[in-house]
Amino acid sequence: MGFLNNLKNSLIAIQKDLTKQVKQYKNKNFADATMAACALVAAADGNVDADERRKVTGFISSNDTLAVFDINELQKNF
C-alpha cells in the first residue's frame, strides 16, 4: 500500500498546487484586463456585433482560468 499512498498524496499535492495557481489570477484587475483584451479584439473592425458577443461568452465559459470568475460579471464588464 506504500506505493498507492504515495501516489494518492502526490495527486492531492498536485491538485492543491493547481488550485493555488488558478486562484492567484482571481482578482478584479486580471478579470478587467482579460475582458478589455476581448473587447479590443472584438472591436477591431469598428463595431461589436451579436456574434462577437456570443464568441466572447463561449470563450469565458470554456476557459479554465476564467472559470473562477462569475460569468455574468465578466459579460457585464465586456
Q: Are 62 and 54 in contact (CB under 8 A)?
A: no
- Checking if the pLDDT of 20 tops 80, the result is no
Q: What pLDDT score does 25 carry?
A: 64
| Mean pLDDT (whole number) for 9-35 | 80
Q: What is the pTM of this model?
A: 0.60
Own/partner long-range contacts of 51-56 (Cβ < 8 Å, ≥24 apart): 53/78
Q: Whole-angstrom Cα distance, residue 65 to residue 30?
A: 10
Summarize pLDDT for 41-61 with one digit per residue, the tens: 888 889 889 998 898 889 888
Q: Whole-angstrom Cα distance, residue 64 to residue 22?
A: 8
> By residue range, what is the domain housing residue 70?
2-77
Q: What pLDDT score does 36 carry?
A: 92
Overall domain count for the chain = 1
Q: Are 60 and 66 in contact (CB under 8 A)?
A: yes
